[in-house]
Amino acid sequence: MKYFYLKQKVFSLRNAYTIYDDQKTELYYAKSKFLVSRKLTLYESTTDNILYTMERKRFSFRPSYTISDSNGTNVASTKKQRALFKQKVNVDSAHGQLVIEGNYRAHDFTIKHENGKDLASIHKKRLAWGDTYEIVIYADDHETFYLALVLLIDSKYHEKRKRSNTRRSRINR
């Protein structure tokens, strides 16, 4: 079991995140080219190697994403599912069928394998400067892939709210 912390940079012209381990050592970072970009790239901090690229599909009824590895090979696709009083995303990946389930407010999530085994849990801190997540990964394999899924969770559920809040603040001026 490993603990990670994802912190979003607040004052940035693009979406930017840093991922730390439980010793507060920076392990990974992610960034997009622009604030409204549909593409987010996850890098290893020590070597600046690309690990995964997440991109939102342009023409889809529900928010859908594809995840590509460093070679550009598509390793996963996600699709939001309808569910009452909870959030649910199906992930069709090279690592098997996964399900991401979250509470109604989209602050607590669990990544599960199709056989019901918990792979990771994600908790968004409520009182934090910028989006901050505590991530517990139970499986030792594919940890960077699970971290990429956490970045997608923030994109799916919290980016829309941020953009609408900035629009409201501009209108109220």
- 18-27 mean pLDDT: 95
Per-residue pLDDT tens for 33-42?
A: 765 567 899 9
Decide: pTM greater than 0.95: no
Each residue of 62-87: b (16+ CB within 10 Å) or e? ebbbebbbeeeeebbebbbeeeeeeb
Q: What local confidence, expressed as pLDDT, does residue 167 receive?
A: 38
Number of domains in the chain: 1
The residue segments making up the domain with residue 61 are 2-172
Domain harbouring 161, CATH code = 2.40.160.200
Q: What local confidence, expressed as pLDDT, does residue 121 receive?
A: 95
Q: What is the mean pLDDT of the chain?
A: 83
Per-residue pLDDT tens for 86-136?
A: 888 999 999 899 999 988 777 899 999 988 899 999 998 877 667 789 999
Judged against a pLDDT cut of 60, whether residue 162 lies above it is answered with no
